[in-house]
Amino acid sequence: MRDYYKDWSELDHELGYKVTYSEYENTDYDNIKSDNPNDWGYQVYKASYQPKVYWGGSIISVAVSKKGVDFSRSSGGDIGDLDGLEQMTHFTRAMKEASRFAIHTKKQIERGNK
């Protein structure tokens, strides 16, 4: 099981989850007929969280754009190295951080800072 965490930093272990950030452009189908190519897409800011004890890098995902916030959760799998209470604690921490990310990023987009 220790190899499972080989790419985790000390901070990841302290937090109880690993987070990966990414950005990409999505097609804006509402504006696809626009004459302005700048209207054909919009930027998406995504954070993917992997709470400790779950395998899979995107157990909790939050994608934020001018279109709103998309949330998804994957069941992943339990690698079995912690008890249920510790699992819930790490999952809850990751959910709270996902919520903070979504709120902060949404505000930045609304203010025109992203």
State the DSSP string of 2-60.
GGGGTT--HHHHHHTEEEEEEEEEEE-GGGTT-S-GGGSEEEEEEEEEEETTEESS-SE
> pLDDT tens digits, residue range 18-72?
999 999 999 999 888 888 888 899 999 999 999 888 776 678 999 999 999 999 9
Q: How far is 62 from 3, CA to CA, in rounded Å?
A: 27
Residue 67 has a pLDDT of 94
Region 7-27: mean pLDDT is 93
The pLDDT mean for the chain works out to: 88
**Which tokens belong to 32?**
């696809």
**Which tokens belong to 91?**
């999952």
Radius of gyration of the chain (CA): 17
Q: 113, 15, 101, 91: which is closest to 63 by C-alpha?
A: 101
Residue 107 has a pLDDT of 97
pLDDT bracket for residue 81 (50, 70, 90): low
